[in-house]
């Protein structure tokens, strides 16, 4: 099979910093790529990727088995650190 694109999240430092990583992940998914986003569940008071994905109904994967199932189904998974 093909290897997924792996994106590591970062936490925006300021409230006005724009976090475009979720948008990039969704665009890659729409283009047919399999995408794994890996990062923190915390946002340090700002909208981290985990929070954005939750708002889009993409919940963090609690295990690697769940992540693989999510990738097989949706081609996009968020795996927390």
pLDDT band at residue 48, thresholds of 50, 70 and 90?
Answer: confident
| Helix segments in 1-81, DSSP class H | 21-30, 49-55, 64-74
- Helix (H) / strand (E) containing 27: helix 21-30
Prediction pTM value:
0.83
Q: What is the pLDDT of residue 79?
A: 94
pLDDT band at residue 13, thresholds of 50, 70 and 90?
Answer: low
d(CA 37, CA 21) in angstroms, rounded, equals 9
pLDDT tens digits for 24-41?
A: 999 999 999 999 999 888
Average pLDDT estimate for 7-23: 76
Pick from 27, 21, 74: nearest CA to 49: 21
């Amino acid at each position: 099979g093909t290897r997924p694109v792996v994106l590591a999240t970062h936490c925006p430092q300021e409230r006005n910093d724009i976090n475009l990583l979720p948008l990039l992940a969704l665009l890659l998914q729409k283009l047919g790529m399999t995408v794994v986003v890996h990062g923190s569940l915390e946002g340090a008071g700002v909208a981290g990727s985990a929070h954005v994905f939750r708002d889009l109904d993409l919940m963090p994967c609690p295990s690697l088995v769940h992540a693989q199932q999510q990738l097989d189904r949706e081609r996009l998974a968020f795996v927390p650190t």
